Structure formats: C-alpha cells, structure tokens
C-alpha cells in the first residue's frame, strides 16, 4: 500500500524532532506541523504520494482479491419464497412510519391469517420464480455429502499393525 502525503511528511520530519519524545507527543507535534505546512511544501508530499501509488499500481497490476470466493463467479440469485413474495406485495399496504420490526410482526400475522386460496397464489409464484432461476443457471454444482462423488478407495493395511 502506498504511503499518504502525511505519512511521507512524518517520515521526513520525524528526524528533526527532539529526542526522548514519546510516540503520542511526536504524533501531536507532527500533526500540528502538517496543519501549519504551507501549500508549496504540502504539494511536494502529495506529488510524492501520487507517484508512490502509481508505482505500486504499475508493479502489481493484477492482485488477487481477498476473501472467501473473491475470485469465483457470483452466486446465482436465490428464488424468493412465497412468504417473501407476499411481504413484498403487502408492505405497500401497511401504514407509513412503521419500523422494520413492527412491519415484520404485522406481515407475519397477516401471512398466518391468510386464507388458503391467497396462499396458493403466492406459492405458485414462488414455484415459477424457482423454475425460472433454475432454467437460467443449469450448471450449478451439487453440494453436500456424496453429491456427484465416487466412494473413496480403501487404503491398504499398514505394515506396522
């Protein structure tokens, strides 16, 4: 990571500070000096920081992204459940100004009280959405124990037993 203009200034100015200062005292002095620095000097350090950043970018143009699955393809979107589809539709009919937990309580109670005819409508919509997503991404990998896998070959018995 490239150093900022302030860090570059601190590296240069730290040698001019009196000896025996503790780190917090040094930081206060350097911060005050940086704020009082005239524009010409500040531009010099900002230019050095920009050059350092460009040099690092040129040296490593393609770095690996960090995190779990950062370089893999994005996961396909999951199909919404019947309850989620109902909530999306019914949320607009709720009174204004309700907080999210209050909305969730009301929507949950309404979902439980919903008659079978209405519920079947949302379950059908959920099934259709699930089928549409499955059609869009048929190459999804099966996961779990034994999914698309062969049994492991047994190891030969050890000679030391």
Put simply, whether the predicted model's pTM sits higher than 0.85 gets the answer no
Span 12-55, pLDDT tens digits: 998 888 888 899 999 999 999 999 999 898 999 999 999 988 88
CA distances from 24 to 12, 32, 130 (A): 17, 12, 59
Q: How confident is the model at residue 148 (pLDDT cuts 50, 70, 90)?
A: low
Close Cβ partners of 14 (under 8 Å, ≥ 6 residues apart):
26, 30
Tokens 């143009």, residue located: 61
| Residues 95-117: b if buried by 16+ CB within 10 A, e if exposed | eeeeeeeeeeebbeeebeebeee
Span 62-89, pLDDT tens digits: 655 566 656 667 777 888 999 999 999 9
What does the alpha-carbon distance between residue 113 and residue 76 come to, in Å, rounded to a whole number?
32
Helix 39-59 to helix 5-13 angle (10° resolution) is: 110
């Amino acid at each position: 990571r490239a150093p900022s203009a302030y860090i570059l200034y601190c590296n240069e100015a730290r040698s001019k500070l009196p000896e025996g200062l503790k780190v917090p005292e040094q930081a206060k002095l350097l911060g005050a000096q940086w704020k009082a620095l005239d524009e010409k000097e500040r531009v010099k350090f900002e230019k050095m920081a920009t050059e350092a950043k460009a040099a690092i970018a040129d040296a490593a143009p393609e770095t690996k992204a960090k995190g779990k699955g950062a370089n893999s393809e994005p996961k396909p979107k999951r199909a919404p459940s019947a309850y989620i589809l109902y909530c999306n539709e019914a949320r607009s009919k709720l009174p204004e100004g309700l907080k999210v937990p209050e909305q969730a309580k009301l929507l949950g109670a309404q979902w439980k009280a919903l008659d079978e005819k209405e519920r079947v409508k949302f379950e059908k919509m959920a099934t259709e959405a699930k089928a549409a997503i499955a059609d869009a991404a048929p190459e999804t990998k099966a996961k779990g124990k034994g999914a698309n896998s062969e049994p492991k070959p047994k190891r030969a018995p050890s000679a030391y037993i």
